[in-house]
Structure 1
Amino acid sequence: MRFGNNHHDKLMEEDDETRGVLLKCLSLYSRGGGCKVCATTSDEFGEIAGKVYKPVCGAQDTSVGCFSYGVENFKKRHNKKKNLQLQEPLDNNNQMHVFLPDDILEMCLMRLPLTSLMNSRLVCKRWRALTTTARFMQMRRDGSYPSPWLFLFGTAKDSFFSGDIHAFDVSFNKWHKIEAEILKGRFSFSVTSVYDNIFIVGGRSSLGKMDRHSSKTHKGVLVLSPSTKSWHKVASMKYARSKPVVGVYEVNTNRLTIKSQHNHFLRTRTRVGGVSDVYEDPHRLSVRRLSRTSFDNQKSTKSKVNNHVKDRQRFLIIAAGGFGSWDEALDSCEIFDSSSNKWTEIQRLPIDFGPACSAVVCNGIFYVYSESDKLAAYDISHGYWVRVQWTPPPPRIHEYSPRLMSCDDQRLFMVSVSWCEGDGEIGRRNKAVRKLWEFDFEYLTWNEVCVHPDAPMDWNSVFVADKNLIFGVEMFKIFGQVLEFLTMCDVSDPKMNWVHLSKNQVARQMDVSSCAMKSMAVVHL
């Protein structure tokens, strides 16, 4: 059967196509039968038709042309519709990516966790360019989107420091490994964090296995930017030193004014008490005078200031003590000013103070604790040292060095190890416990606030503070294997209970040298 109207023929053909029957072959079909070749049609064709037809007429060669044309035409139409349906959502998504403004993209990307943010930079050049600018990182910090990360340095394997850095994401409770070629063979350095950068100060290096006698002592300072996985250098210290105690002071330019100092002496007592050890002009090495000198030379040195430091808010890094090239204990101190990218020597540690073992900046004062249980404070604003007197000092086992921490830049804490006399029970053996102490600025005394749950197996345990949180890493060797515990204490909680964040996840393949040389910094990323 053939229609003269081509348009009507086409419409009928499309209508019958939904039922799986073509008009060109319509005379060969009935409810009880159809083309013999149609019985061998594909499952796809039969399913769409919804009915099964049986052959009732015609030989195979009489309907092959009709069937072939119909099936091929159907498949072309069916595949074309399927491709259009698949392409429509893809085209819509592409249009959204193309026309989405940069500021909207930034608002979305800045809310991602660091791991997801690093992966997003692999999507395209545009996303990488948006997420690596100083403006983007500043907006992310201002929005309080970064979460704390712990960076563990100084780990060794087979008595060689490979430079690997182990980073712990506190929010996701997961360790990550970072390879640092620049730190290979380097050990006994100190680390501190400033905003979202980590400063590696001093240290020693050796081409072979760790050997303190054949190693070189450094005075250089390296800076790691974990958010961009980049390294750069800042000005070197005046003296080469390993294991110095360091502290960071964020300068508020509104309070720290640059003005000339008259040659008059300040009072020898401050709000923390004590007697000054300065016997000459206390302003000779003060930060204010150094700031004025730096300001006068700022125009000549502006082009030399590193871009990574220049764009940040001004800060100071204080490095005190440590050990020199011949393993001699140092009492010299230096201050790094980010506005001038220079280190300047300041007043030395007080006389008979002893080797410095820990330091921190709290409320604008740089506190240093010595192995001889003495506490000294450096007034950053005025530039002189003060001995802090208290009675009596916290009892401790001298094999375990105390660690100072500052929470919220107002509360001063110390972790030390002391003997516990059998918990008051007669005949019970004494045991060593690690205690957390808080300093009372009014009465100049240390008050015990809580006890650490773990036995003090690590004599070089590391503790750092971040806002109201104190993190501690213990690493020790037992039964031929190096183990590690990562703990945390919230000092804003009245109970001040310690909790375990991680156990034995990164130290199994490390060398015992890692226990003695490790250091840690906390950064919000």
Structure 2
Amino acid sequence: MAESCNSRHFSWLLKSCFPNPQDNKSLTPTTITTTNLSSLPDDLLLECLSRVPSSSLPSLSLVCRRWSQLLFSASFLRLRRLLNLLHTSVFAISSSDSGLFAATLSFQCDNPSWSSLYLPISSVSVETIQGLFSYARVSAIGPRIYIIGRNSMVKYDTWTGTVIPRAPMIFPRKKFATALVSGKIYVAGGGFRAAAAVEEYNPESDTWRVVAKAPRRRYGCIGAAVDGVFYVIGGLKIGNTWGNEVSRTSAGAEAHMYASSMDLYDVEACGWLRSRAVPGGGCVVAACGTSGHVYILASHAVELSFWKFDARRHSGGSNGCGFGEWSRLKSPPLPTQVRVDSTVRFSCVGVGYMVVLVQVMGCIDDLLRRSGRSARGLREGLVLVYDSVTGEWSRVADLPEVMRRATCVSVEC
């Protein structure tokens, strides 16, 4: 074999691949640039990350600070939602002397069941955790869950399993309303001076600020959100005169004394819409927002009624219905041993086209002692699911027995 190549042996096509010695430009070395994921702008990187399987997201959030911020951003959740890659489940959480107990209910299988886990609280004091659950409310932003108490707040990251303290609300509140709107948490009500202010929490800066003055001062209210509107529902109406009403509230007015009205705060416009009332009156005992509607469970002393409020402001409803229309739905089929009174309360969570109703208790021992009733038939944890497509209720697996006085929320991840 020859030591060198003779160009006469190459075809014209191959010759074209070699540099021309007479062309100075062809002898100039070219700079090869490489492009990797980290060099992409945020919008393109989000497009790539949004297509990653859910099982890989927790590890990707640990790659760097930038990736972590993008994975927990509202833009990432919106892209995952458009790609139908978000999986929504019910997350229940309760406290113990040593930590937090949690359970998740997934609807990805034919027979939904609860998965339990224990959450260590090495970075948070036991006193903080126990104080949280006296009057706790829970909101979730993607896989992060915020447990909001009267004087403190903690964040639980479902990906990393960590619990860390966050900034508390400006005004201490009890039995207040909370909801998530456009990636921020809003709270209202709660008695005393707090009931007059609506607060907004920014998770990126870990700060609270007052954004509005409430038209009504409420205590024991419930929050929901649909289409950019924060709904403050039910609760005791606290008037402008604070004397006797505040003393009754501070003495421990029970949360079952709910009113049947709701105030509507438009977050984008920073203003209040016309207040609405639940048809038929009664006391609102549970509520949630999902699939363009607000679902409300109302108590009428010896029975329950279930309602749907059309909250779709930017799209017309079907069959001539639209924003502000009420529809009465089939009431939940509670077992006969479950009495609708102060010993029973409900947690209502929206999961896509379904409404999950979880029966929980207050402080059972104290309530039974005051009422003189026995504990038989009062085990908490009944879970009912309303299918808004078929209009029917069904029963799924009960909440695990270890979960006492649990608080529930819908989580997307």
Q: TM-score normalised to the size of structure 2?
A: 0.62
Picking from 386, 389, 400, the partner of 1:489 is 386
Gaps in structure 1 of 5+ consecutive residues: 1-100, 204-217, 251-314, 420-431
Distance 2:98 2:290 in 1: 32
Which structure 1 residue ranges, 4+ long, deviate > 4 Å from structure 2?
A: 126-130, 135-140, 440-445
Distance 1:386 1:164 in 2: 39
Matched, 1:242 2:136: no
Distance 1:362 1:407 in 2: 7
Q: 1:402 — aligned with what?
A: 285
Q: Aligned ranges for residues 500-515 of structure 1 at < 5 Å? A: 500-503=395-398, 506-507=400-401, 509=402, 514-515=404-405
User: Is the 1:198–1:223 contact (alpha carbons within 8 Å) kept by the matching residues of 2?
Assistant: yes
CA distance 1:154–1:489, shift in 2 (3 Å): same
Residue 379 of structure 1 deviates from its aligned partner by 2.0
Q: 1:364 — aligned with what?
A: 228
Q: 1:343 — aligned with what?
A: 208
Q: 1:167 — aligned with what?
A: 104
Q: 1:111 — aligned with what?
A: 53
Matched, 1:224 2:92: no
Picking from 296, 312, 316, the partner of 1:414 is 296
Matched, 1:196 2:78: no
* Structure with max Cα Rg: 1
Q: 1:436 — aligned with what?
A: 306
- Bigger proportion of residues as strand: 2
Q: 1:298 — aligned with what?
A: none
Distance 1:127 1:467 in 2: 26
Residue 443 of structure 1 deviates from its aligned partner by 8.0
CA distance 1:483–1:347, shift in 2 (3 Å): closer
Residue 129 of structure 1 deviates from its aligned partner by 5.4
Distance 1:468 1:439 in 2: 14
Give the 3-state SS of the residue equivalent to 1:330 in structure 2: helix
CA distance 1:467–1:127, shift in 2 (3 Å): closer
Residue 185 of structure 1 deviates from its aligned partner by 1.8
Residue 192 of structure 1 deviates from its aligned partner by 0.7
Q: 1:382 — aligned with what?
A: 269
How many residue pairs align between the two structures? 301
Matched, 1:452 2:332: yes
Distance 1:360 1:136 in 2: 25
Q: 1:468 — aligned with what?
A: 353
CA distance 1:374–1:174, shift in 2 (3 Å): closer
Q: 2:12 — aligned with what?
A: none
Distance 1:102 1:481 in 2: 55
Residue 221 of structure 1 deviates from its aligned partner by 2.8
User: Is the 1:437–1:446 contact (alpha carbons within 8 Å) kept by the matching residues of 2?
Assistant: yes
Q: 1:316 — aligned with what?
A: 184
Distance 2:281 2:228 in 1: 27
Supply the AA of the counterpart residue of 2:149: G
> Sequence identity of aligned pairs in percent?
15
Residue 344 of structure 1 deviates from its aligned partner by 1.3
Q: TM-score normalised to the size of structure 1?
A: 0.50
Give the 3-state SS of the residue equivalent to 2:213 in structure 1: coil
Matched, 1:151 2:91: yes
Gaps in structure 2 of 5+ consecutive residues: 1-35, 39-47, 235-257, 312-321, 365-374
Give the 3-state SS of the residue equivalent to 1:473 in structure 2: strand
Cα offsets for 1:26-50 (capped at 9, x unmatched): xxxxxxxxxxxxxxxxxxxxxxxxx
Distance 1:355 1:184 in 2: 23
Q: RMSD between aligned alpha carbons?
A: 3.7
Residue 318 of structure 1 deviates from its aligned partner by 0.8
Distance 1:147 1:389 in 2: 32
Q: 1:330 — aligned with what?
A: 195
Residue 113 of structure 1 deviates from its aligned partner by 5.5
CA distance 1:178–1:167, shift in 2 (3 Å): farther
Give the 3-state SS of the residue equivalent to 2:140 in structure 1: strand
CA distance 1:445–1:111, shift in 2 (3 Å): closer
User: Is the 1:415–1:437 contact (alpha carbons within 8 Å) kept by the matching residues of 2?
Assistant: yes
